[in-house]
Amino acid sequence: MAQVIRPNHRRNARRDMPQLEIWVRNEGRFLTQDWSLGGAAIYRSKLGRKVGDPVAGELRLARKEGTWYPFIAVIVRDDPDQQLLGLEFRQLDSATFDFLQSMLRRPPPDR
C-alpha cells in the first residue's frame, strides 16, 4: 500500500522543543503537543469551547515552577479523535513573545 505524505503547510515551523503548560482560568491546565510563535496544539479533556471561541490564559515551561506568561488566542481546530485543540495566538505581550523565542533557541530535548 502506498504511503501518502502530506507537505507541511504551517506558517510557523514546529520542531522538538520543550513542552509548555497552558492555564485557562476556570478551565484548568493543559499540556501542549506542539507549539510555535503562531499557536499551540493542546491536549484537552474538558475545555468547554468550540472553534472560533477566544481563549485567554497563561503559559509556562511544563513541569517547572516559574513565571506564567499571558496570551490571548482563538480556537482554530478541534480534533476529537486525538483529543487536541488548535490555538492561534492573537495577542502576546513582549515578555511572552521573548519567552517563546528563547524556547525556540534552546537545543531540542533528549528523547
Q: Can you list the domains of the chain with their CATH numbers?
A: 20-104 (2.40.10.220)
Mean local confidence (pLDDT), 57-70: 94
Give residue 37's pLDDT: 94
CA-to-CA separations, 83 to 30, 59, 64, 86, in angstroms, rounded: 11, 19, 24, 10
Residues in Cβ contact with 64 at an 8 Å cutoff, skipping those fewer than 6 apart: none
Mean local confidence (pLDDT), 20-38: 92
Mean local confidence (pLDDT), 20-35: 91
Mean local confidence (pLDDT), 28-37: 93
Mean local confidence (pLDDT), 51-64: 94
Give the predicted TM-score (pTM) of the model: 0.79
Give residue 82's pLDDT: 86
Mean local confidence (pLDDT), 58-77: 94
Give residue 34's pLDDT: 92
C-alpha–C-alpha distance, residues 21 and 46, integer Å = 15
